[in-house]
Structure 1
Amino acid sequence: MVDAGKRPPSGTAVALLAGVSQKTVSRVFNNEPSVTEETRTRVLAAAQQLGYRPNGAARALLTGRHDRIGVVSLSTAHYGPSSLLVALERAARRANYSLIVANSFDDDASGIKAAVDNLLVQGVDAIILSEPIDDGEAPITVDVPVLTLGGAPSVQAPTVLSMPAAEGGAAATEVTRHLLALGHRTVHHIAGPQRWWAARERQRSWHEALTATNAAVPQALTGDWTPRSGYELGRELARDPDVTAIFAANDDMAIGAIHALHEAGRQVPGDVSVAGFDDIPLAAHVTPPLTTVSTDNAELAENGLHYLTAFLADPDHVPAAPQTHQHRIIVRNSTGPPPT
């Protein structure tokens, strides 16, 4: 650590301590690919020992790069978007990039465009769109590379990289089939708000899974992702004795529905099976523990950042796209056979 009042250490001092040239130090902090991993590790260790911090403004003037990535994210406390944002921050730090977040807002029709403009003014090397809702806007024009995670608006940019996220299509199908395989004649659905890409995809896949097996397709009920909306819709479903299985588009609504079913005297899973989506930390600890879908946002963020930074390091060659992000069905005690 540098003592107060002393001049900060220079790149020359890092080069001397690491036993490399000053140019090599610059290459390391510019994330250039022509440096061996052993040399990169030695330079970074020397920089940490000396408390060296590169002058970002000067480097940007010389190289045209900022080592900053902008992220457009919806301002929300919902588990999916917020956990992905935390995972992106960690992955960016490991890749030696800083992250700047610009929030859009659910009630702002020009939220995504305004957020992108805000990031471009601050200076970023690329932009990640992890925006989970459809604003119905015209194509967004961006003059830096863009990485989209899951559903995203139409973008016009020098390069657009796409990373499929586990929005829920295949997972929603699998959950619905799991409930049908237990013997339920059909599965009722508590959907999320339809402006959300994930809610649309989960509802569509639930519907297709039922029609593929010739099961009856009940009317989907739409909530707002909150436990309260799950509770209110769960009360409605609890009044129908033919309801034996419910798939909610997220865990919060599933937990609200379980509360309503218990309050109405209907046992879970004895009378009604309930499944959710997201595998929030609370899902394993409610009564009964919730069957749900686990999507590894840390893996999605790591793969997405690697995909983007590999392109930034060598813009003449677009790297191969990562494999489709995987999900896991976590079967717990909230699902079982229908009552006899």
Structure 2
Amino acid sequence: MLDVAARAGVSGQTVSRVVNASPRVDPVTRERVEQAMAELGYRPHRAARALRTGRTQTIGLVATTLATIGNSRMLQAVVEAAAGRGYAVTVVTLDAASGIGDAFARLRDQGVDGAIVLNEATAVVRDATAPADLALVVVDSPPDDRFAVVRTDHAAGARAATEHLLALGHATVWHLAGPEASFAAGERERGWRAALAGAGREVPPVVRGDWTAASGREAVAALGAPDAELTAIFAANDQMALGALRALADAGRRVPEEVSVVGFDDVADAADYRPPLTTVRQDFDELGAAAVAALVDAIEGAGHASVLLPATLVPRASTAPPPSAAPSPPSAAPSRAPSRA
């Protein structure tokens, strides 16, 4: 660091601030220091820094699985946001044989400064004793005084999706829900129910999937895809919506001419579904950045606060008025025989 400081013409403290991504360095000076670091081949030594500061600049991420689109998108978002703050990420997954205490123990063994808990794993954390020696941020959970909570407004997004379908003229909306233990799935179901109740509409029985396209296809097929009364489906994620599209096609129901379908998440492929999927967008990049920012604040002793991010309806071609509400084609004008002179 002294060599870098000498070459850049700054103090060792300034080099330290640049290395630690401190905002207290003007851009011109930062660029000069970074150029000197590159010329000298300087790389911060994480283990040595940990001995000096008591921090490893590493955060943990706890998930039940990384196979779902939501969790894999969150992992990517967290890794990118953490790298921007100078942190590395280590991942542990929960299984039936290990509890949340074991996950936290593994993270402590790796010397993490704090941890982010994702989605389905949050239900386990809520029922456990929060670790006093580990800064914690939970993604998708009710507010909790023990740790920071970062979540998308799933209920508002689901309500917007349902109200969109009702506004098109559908008498009611069926819901393809996610797993019962999922907080996000429960919030989306709550928003769907609120929209139907607010409009005074019938609330159909819920059918459930496990977030996969296959479960969506099976659930909608069992629901009675050929039933003409089924004109609108709100699926709790885009993968299950994709499965619903397959089940409806197998039953000979056209989307959106006969049945409208809305998903949730706005995954990268949603616009390329057939037809392009109307969905509710949650910003995974913003969610990951908010989770990392909240965790760094907690690590640095700034306390914790809950963050609620909006969800936005993205209308596409998979929704339309139901057949009964579609305008009738104009009748042909009666033909008239040519007059004779």
Q: Is the TM value for this pair above 0.5? A: yes
Query: Are 1:291 and 2:278 matched, yes or no?
Result: yes
Task: State the SS of the aligned residue for 2:200.
Answer: coil
With over 3 angstroms needed to count, the CA separation of the structure-2 counterparts of 1:118 and 1:42, relative to structure 1, is: farther
Q: Structure 2: 5+ residue runs without aligned partners? A: 325-341
**Which residue number corresponds to residue 137 of structure 1?**
127
With over 3 angstroms needed to count, the CA separation of the structure-2 counterparts of 1:138 and 1:146, relative to structure 1, is: closer
**Which residue number corresponds to residue 338 of structure 1?**
322
Which of 308, 314, 320 is 1:324 aligned to? 308
CA distance in 1, matches of 2:49, 2:115: 20
CA distance in 2, matches of 1:41, 1:326: 36
- Deviation readout 1:133-171 (Å, 9 max, x if unpaired): 423732232413222222179785xxx3232x2262110
Which of 256, 261, 276 is 1:274 aligned to? 261
CA distance in 2, matches of 1:56, 1:330: 43
Which TM-score applies when normalising by structure 2? 0.86
- Aligned residues of 1:87 and 1:297 also touching (Cα < 8 A): yes
* Larger displacement relative to structure 2 (220-229 or 42-51): 42-51
**Which residue number corresponds to residue 218 of structure 1?**
204
- Aligned residues of 2:142 and 2:149 also touching (Cα < 8 A): no
Which of 55, 61, 77 is 1:71 aligned to? 61
Query: Are 1:189 and 2:179 matched, yes or no?
Result: no
With over 3 angstroms needed to count, the CA separation of the structure-2 counterparts of 1:29 and 1:176, relative to structure 1, is: same
With over 3 angstroms needed to count, the CA separation of the structure-2 counterparts of 1:331 and 1:46, relative to structure 1, is: same
**Which residue number corresponds to residue 51 of structure 1?**
41
Structure with greater Cα Rg: 2
Return the letter of the residue paired with 2:118.
S
**Which residue number corresponds to residue 209 of structure 1?**
195
- Aligned residues of 1:130 and 1:149 also touching (Cα < 8 A): yes
Task: State the SS of the aligned residue for 1:198.
Answer: helix
Task: State the SS of the aligned residue for 2:188.
Answer: helix
Task: State the SS of the aligned residue for 2:127.
Answer: coil
Alignment of 1:70-219 (within 5 A): 70-105=60-95, 107-108=96-97, 110=99, 112-133=100-121, 134-135=123-124, 137-151=127-141, 156=146, 160-163=147-150, 165-166=151-152, 168-219=154-205
Which of 219, 222, 239 is 1:252 aligned to? 239
* Larger displacement relative to structure 2 (190-199 or 117-126): 117-126
- Deviation readout 1:266-294 (Å, 9 max, x if unpaired): 11111111111111222111211111111
- Aligned residues of 2:215 and 2:243 also touching (Cα < 8 A): yes
* Larger displacement relative to structure 2 (198-207 or 67-76): 67-76
CA distance in 1, matches of 2:31, 2:299: 20
- Aligned residues of 2:153 and 2:308 also touching (Cα < 8 A): no
- Aligned residues of 1:113 and 1:140 also touching (Cα < 8 A): no
CA distance in 2, matches of 1:322, 1:198: 16
Which of 236, 242, 245 is 2:229 aligned to? 242
Which TM-score applies when normalising by structure 1? 0.86
* Larger displacement relative to structure 2 (120-129 or 88-97): 120-129
